[in-house]
Amino acid sequence: MKILIYGAGVIGSIFAAKLSIVGNNVTVLARGQRLTEINNMGVIIRKANTKKEEKATVQTIETLLPDMKFDYVIITMQKMQVSSILECLSKNISQNIVFVINNASGYDDWVKAIGKERLMVGFPSAGGQRINGVVEYFIGKGLIRGFQTTTFGELNGENTQRVQNLIKMFCDAGIPTVFCSDMDAWQKTHVVMVTNIANALYGYNCQNKLLARSYSDIKKMILGIKEGFAVLKKLNIKPKPKKLLFFNLPTWLLTICSKLLLGTKLAETTMVKHCIVAKSEMILLQSEFDVLIKKSGLATPNIDSLKVNLNAGK
């Protein structure tokens, strides 16, 4: 497959390396220091737990020209950056453009720019941090998949051949990946999770072990997630994936389990690193979900209390 990874941050680097290593023809769109790093070093990723390194040599470009055709263009960047690239994408001839981006506000702007027939949506179960040009990473496997698995889908919910091909390509690259028939619901559900967890962490300057000591604040986080799910249900949006229905368990039990999880290295790797670098994105996502809260008419006292941490910059 001929693949363009549009964005060379942590997720883009993980995707580029893993897809290239198994034989795909991968190009990365990068600029500035990151472009220099990739041209000089290749894409180097280091597994967070074992420290095993892998290196991939990829092609690079700084600008996507209209006549550059790829089997898949995979967009990996933060939500607020997308508007600046829509015109460029609209002019490109590639037929499969996959937005792997946090989103709680729907896809109207993206559809208007590139057309519904070209647009695909997904989200990764992966993360990490970049240190001196090397991406220290994790991929959602094992226990992590109880919360999130890399997922792709079509806007109309159909399990098309192009989605199946994309999922197979990722699975072959060692990234467990599944299909979802309602990516809009999936992404709104994810925003419920990530904003409440991030806002709780911001109250402790993203120090997960300090948050882990506070039963009351973790309880508030769990109640905030439950409030978010109630908002979705009021708007006739079924939380996705179904396995997250374990949040129907008693609050005290979920609080104890979360308390244990937040004190681990796993929490630092999978939650904290992203919160530190993505605060502006969290502000945007919270504002998008606030629109849904207002539309639902429901009171969300725990969400309101937690987002004070975000707005106050704590």
pLDDT tens per residue, range 32-48:
999 999 999 999 999 98
The reported pTM is 0.94
pLDDT at 242: 84
- Mean pLDDT in residue range 203-212: 94
Q: Are 120 and 107 within 8 A, CB to CB? A: no
Higher pLDDT, 145 or 295: 295
Around Cβ 139, how many Cβ atoms within 10 Å?
23
Helix, strand, or coil (residue 94): coil
Tell whether the model's pLDDT for residue 206 goes beyond 80.
yes
Q: Which residue has the tokens 């039990």?
A: 253
Q: Which token pair is 228?
A: 């978010």
Around Cβ 133, how many Cβ atoms within 10 Å?
16
pLDDT at 140: 87
Q: Is the bond preceding residue 176 a cis peptide, omega within 30 degrees? A: no
Longest dimension (CA), the chain: 56
pLDDT at 161: 98
In the CATH hierarchy, which fold is given to the domain comprising 2-181?
Rossmann fold (3.40.50)
- Mean pLDDT in residue range 167-188: 97
Q: Are 279 and 199 within 8 A, CB to CB? A: no
- Mean pLDDT in residue range 255-276: 86
Q: What is the mean pLDDT of the chain?
A: 94
Tell whether the model's pLDDT for residue 144 goes beyond 80.
no
CA 146 to chain centre: 16
β-pairing verdict for 119-123 and 150-154: antiparallel
The dihedrals phi and psi of 243, each to the nearest 5 degrees, come to -65, -20
CA-closest candidate to residue 188, choices 121, 275, 277, 254: 121
The contacts of residue 1 (CB under 8 Å, 6+ apart) are 19, 24, 25, 71, 72, 165, 169
pLDDT at 314: 43
Distances (CA, A) of 139 to 63, 174, 210: 28, 9, 25
